[in-house]
């Protein structure tokens, strides 16, 4: 009987298909990034496209946290800490790097970062974009290293300890960053050039935050990374590595008995998630033009956790959808639209899917009906009294979460991807398994 590794070698797909498979996510990312940047962004106007950009950053954060909290079932509460590490690393390299390379902390070029290029055409020819994106990747690497250092000792511990350790990690990161020296202001380039690198690396603005960063982040870069993150996480989930992650969440004892080195895989998940959080931090910093560790504390981690919990513990597309909803929701609350139409759509969806599956469910429908009635009443009261609903955002989040826990504790999509719960998926999948097993069957 050939070993698995021998079988794998003899089973390799044709060489011609290797490169396309490796790089198509990047190409799709570039295409979608360009679409967002050239078509959708300008079509929406400034403010909505800003929201869409933030939604993209949140997608990266939520999807990456899904790898840890959703797949491996570990409860990390320090995701914003990794975002902060990545954001500061990226900001440092971009800011001081710009001074060293271009003699100024202004954005230096790149068609795709028009903030700097539009009013200074000469700058377009320079490589500020490359510096920026390289520094975001370095931010990811920095966060991944932090993830390894935090994860290796703490992931040996069981469950709750990790939550505490990661919570502590986030706070330590915040305190350390807020304890850094004054930043060297953009108009004092000579000072920056005169200082050694290590001193620049600790001049990050302290409690005031790291400000006046060149703003390179555009819809293009954000959605490039969104697509790449989504596809990488999807590939991981649907692989031996992903199944090892999921097995840990399902049953650690059984996973070990089946040969899964659970510490190794937990650390892997942690490092992978930290990397993307770090990249997101870089995109975030160079979008706002500032980053303040004070904003990236426990509350920010909690925001990301809510997205994962809402979307479904283990669902990539669910987390992405929840990130979009929870980014747009506060905006909607500024001027709340009627709730009933949304409720009706949800009820129709649930009724449709559940009757298709021949397991009609009343409970969620009743809960949604009651919830949307209550929300509608609240909205009418708020409208008549002139109350700003956005002020009650956190209370609404809490209500949303409680409703979620009652109706569907595993999150909207549970472990499944959105398309997996659509009608016909199971049938097609069964056909696929049958076809493979039949055509290539034989003794194991």
Interface residue list for other proteins (CB under 8 A): 3-5, 7-13, 15, 18, 21-22, 232, 235-236, 239-244, 246-247, 250-251, 253-262, 268, 272, 314, 414-415, 426, 429-430, 433, 436-437, 440-444
* Residue 12 DSSP class: P
306: tokens are: 């809510």
CB 151, min distance to other proteins, A: 14
* Residue 88 DSSP class: H
CB 27, min distance to other proteins, A: 14
417/393 Cα distance (integer angstroms): 28
Largest pairwise CA distance in the chain: 77
108: tokens are: 């230096």
Selection from 305, 31, 30, 53 nearest residue 163 by Cα: 305
Nearer to other proteins, 121 or 444 (CB): 444
Residue 329: C-alpha distances to residues 51, 297, 368 (Å): 11, 21, 17
38/284 Cα distance (integer angstroms): 20
* Residue 415 DSSP class: T
CB 112, min distance to other proteins, A: 24
Three-class SS state of 291: strand
Nearer to other proteins, 4 or 197 (CB): 4
Nearer to other proteins, 187 or 425 (CB): 425
Helices (H), 207-291: 219-237, 240-250, 252-257, 262-288
Return the bridge partners of 210, or none: 291
CB 204, min distance to other proteins, A: 31
Nearer to other proteins, 254 or 402 (CB): 254
Are 380 and 339 a contacting pair, CB within 8 Å?
Answer: no
CB 18, min distance to other proteins, A: 5
CB 163, min distance to other proteins, A: 21
CB 207, min distance to other proteins, A: 37
Nearer to other proteins, 88 or 276 (CB): 276
Nearer to other proteins, 111 or 254 (CB): 254
Three-class SS state of 392: helix
Nearer to other proteins, 144 or 296 (CB): 144
């Amino acid at each position: 009987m050939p070993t698995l590794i021998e079988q794998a070698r003899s089973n390799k797909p044709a060489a011609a298909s290797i490169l396309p498979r490796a790089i198509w996510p990047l190409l799709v990312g570039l295409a979608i990034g360009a679409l967002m940047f050239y078509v959708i962004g300008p079509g929406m106007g400034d403010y909505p496209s800003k929201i869409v950009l933030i939604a993209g950053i949140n997608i990266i954060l939520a999807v990456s946290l899904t790898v840890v909290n959703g797949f491996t079932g570990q409860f990390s509460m320090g995701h914003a800490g990794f975002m902060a590490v990545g954001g500061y690393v990226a900001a440092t390299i971009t800011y001081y790097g710009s001074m060293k390379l271009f003699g100024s902390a202004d954005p230096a070029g790149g068609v795709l970062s028009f903030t700097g290029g539009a009013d200074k055409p000469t700058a377009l020819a320079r490589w500020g974009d490359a510096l920026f994106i390289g520094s975001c990747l370095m931010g990811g690497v920095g966060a991944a290293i932090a993830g390894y250092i935090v994860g290796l000792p703490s992931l040996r511990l069981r469950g709750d300890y990790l939550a505490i350790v990661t919570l502590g990690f986030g706070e330590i990161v915040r305190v350390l960053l807020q304890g850094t020296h004054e930043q060297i202001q953009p108009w004092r380039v000579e000072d920056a050039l005169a200082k050694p690198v290590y001193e620049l690396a600790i001049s990050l603005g302290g409690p005031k935050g790291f400000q006046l960063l060149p703003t390179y982040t555009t819809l293009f870069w954000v959605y490039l990374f969104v697509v790449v993150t989504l596809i990488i996480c999807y590939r991981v989930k649907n692989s031996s590595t992903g199944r090892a992650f999921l097995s840990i969440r399902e049953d650690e004892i059984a996973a070990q008995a089946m040969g899964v080195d659970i510490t190794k895989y937990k650390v892997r998940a942690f490092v992978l998630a930290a990397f993307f959080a770090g990249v997101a931090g870089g995109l975030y910093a160079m979008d706002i033009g500032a980053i303040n560790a004070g904003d990236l504390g426990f509350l920010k981690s909690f925001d990301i956790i809510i997205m994962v919990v809402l979307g479904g513990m283990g669902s990539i597309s669910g987390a992405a959808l929840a990130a979009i909803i929870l980014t747009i929701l506060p905006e909607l609350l500024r001027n709340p639209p009627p709730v009933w139409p949304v409720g009706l759509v949800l009820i129709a969806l649930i009724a449709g899917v559940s009757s298709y599956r021949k397991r009609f469910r009343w409970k969620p429908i009743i809960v949604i009906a009651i919830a949307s009635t209550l929300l509608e009443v609240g909205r009418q009261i708020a409208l008549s009294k002139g109350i700003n609903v956005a002020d009650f955002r956190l209370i609404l989040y809490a209500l949303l979460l409680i409703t979620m826990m009652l109706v569907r504790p595993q999150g909207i999509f549970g472990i499944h991807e959105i398309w997996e719960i659509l009608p016909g998926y199971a049938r097609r999948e069964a056909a696929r398994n049958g076809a493979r097993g039949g055509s290539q069957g034989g003794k194991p």
